[in-house]
């Protein structure tokens, strides 16, 4: 049996987490990181970026930068106290996470050596650059080789990289899946590139969730961080730009769902999702679900937006509005 990895994803406050929670709370699926986002594949410096470097974009400078960025990601994912407590949540479900990611990086790094590059000098601070220039002149005068202090790295070939990815993902997502259920994850892929960002998962099925921009802006204003929730004009420009970056073509591994449809026509949309997942389903009451009611989060803009903001969004983003 080829287990599925089901990923829910959205643009930010699009409602994908509500659909994830709906399935995560059921007894049909296995969630290795409950109530946590695992975006290591498409994070800056994550697995997709590493593969591009190894497969088709190698330079010595890029290898050094990629290594150091992945070290930063390991710390980010395994830090117990952070702004969003992401590390704390992930470590709670897999205390060995930091070791697994560190071992993966070591296994794909086939050579570490001391050297120096123009880029590493550029990235150093002013005093370090002066020190390097002085040492270079002294070494030239004394005809001695300069002792390079910069750590440089070379990665493995692409085949080896893929093997290490398989080992890592087995440890993260399959090893503890004793009952061999389909896996459910939230935000483990990007809606702007769902196929590429989830290609390392076993048999990925991607559910992309869209939401009325009026409610998205309402959420932005309320939550504040990370998104343009401070100015309706900026929001509308931002929203139009990001929506143009989405390929809306569905296929057997990719489906688009409206959050409003899910909230207001639950039976119909669940039937659509289960058909997409090729799972037999008659009525959601037959399944043990325990979830917050998504219909409570529809049309929040009625109380959350000022009249001038609402009219501006309805004028600028007419084609993206849900027809209630």
Over the stretch 263-316, which tens digit does the pLDDT of each residue have? 999 888 988 999 999 988 665 554 444 455 666 789 999 999 999 999 999 999
Mean pLDDT of 225-248: 90
DSSP 79-93: -SS-SS-HHHHHHHH
Task: Report which of residues 190 and 116 the model is more confident about.
Answer: 190
| pLDDT of amino acid 25 | 78
Mean pLDDT of 231-239: 95
Write the CATH number of the domain with boundaries 1-32+194-324.
3.40.50.300
pLDDT tens figures, 7-36: 999 998 999 988 898 888 788 899 998 878
Mean pLDDT of 249-264: 95
| pLDDT of amino acid 224 | 67
Task: Report which of residues 211 and 60 the model is more confident about.
Answer: 211
Mean pLDDT of 237-243: 96
DSSP 240-254: HHHHTT-----BTTE
pLDDT tens figures, 278-291: 988 665 554 444 45
Q: How far apart are CA 67 and CA 60, in angstroms?
A: 11
φ and ψ at 301, to 5 degrees?
-65, -20
Mean pLDDT of 80-98: 70
Kindly state the tokens that stand for 104.
């993966």
pTM comes to 0.87
Q: Are 322 and 258 in contact (CB under 8 A)?
A: yes
| pLDDT of amino acid 95 | 84
pLDDT tens figures, 134-182: 666 666 665 555 555 678 899 999 999 999 999 999 999 999 888 899 9
Residue 167 burial (C-beta neighbours within 10 Å; 0-12, 13-18, 19+): middle
Element (DSSP H or E) covering residue 104: helix 97-108
Q: How far apart are CA 107 and CA 103, in angstroms?
A: 6
* pLDDT above 90: residue 67: yes
Domain boundaries, the chain: 1-32+194-324, 34-176
Quote the DSSP letter at residue 45.
T
Q: What is the mean pLDDT of the chain?
A: 86
* pLDDT above 60: residue 324: yes
Q: How far apart are CA 279 and CA 39, in angstroms?
A: 26
């Amino acid at each position: 049996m080829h287990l599925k990895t089901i990923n829910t994803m959205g643009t930010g406050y699009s409602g994908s987490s509500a659909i994830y929670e709906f399935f995560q709370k059921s007894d049909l699926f296995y969630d290795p990181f409950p109530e946590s986002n695992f975006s290591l594949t498409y994070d800056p410096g994550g697995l997709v970026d590493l593969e591009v470097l190894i497969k088709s974009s190698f330079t010595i400078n890029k290898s050094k930068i990629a290594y150091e960025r992945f070290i930063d990601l390991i710390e980010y994912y395994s830090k117990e106290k952070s702004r969003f407590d992401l590390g704390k949540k992930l470590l709670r479900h897999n205390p060995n996470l930091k070791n697994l990611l560190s071992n993966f990086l070591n296994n794909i790094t086939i050579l570490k050596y001391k050297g120096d590059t123009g880029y590493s000098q550029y990235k150093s601070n002013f005093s370090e650059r002066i020190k390097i220039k002085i040492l270079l002149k002294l070494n030239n005068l004394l005809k001695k080789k300069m002792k390079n202090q910069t750590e440089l790295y070379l990665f493995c070939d692409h085949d080896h990289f893929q093997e290490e990815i398989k080992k890592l993902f087995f440890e993260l997502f399959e090893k503890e899946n004793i009952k061999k259920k389909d896996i459910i994850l939230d935000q483990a892929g990007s809606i702007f590139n769902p196929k590429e960002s989830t290609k390392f998962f076993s048999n990925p099925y991607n559910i992309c969730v869209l939401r009325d921009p009026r409610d998205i802006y309402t959420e932005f204003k309320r939550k504040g961080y990370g998104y343009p929730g401070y100015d309706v004009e900026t929001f509308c420009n931002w929203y139009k730009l990001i929506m143009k970056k989405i390929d809306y073509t569905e296929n057997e591994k990719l489906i688009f769902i409206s959050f409003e449809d899910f909230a207001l026509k639950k039976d119909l949309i669940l039937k659509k999702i289960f058909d997409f997942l090729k799972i037999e389903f008659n009525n959601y009451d037959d399944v043990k679900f325990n979830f917050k009611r998504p219909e409570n989060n529809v049309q929040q803009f009625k109380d959350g937006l000022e009249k001038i903001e609402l009219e501006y969004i309805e004028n600028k983003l007419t084609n993206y509005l849900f027809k209630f």
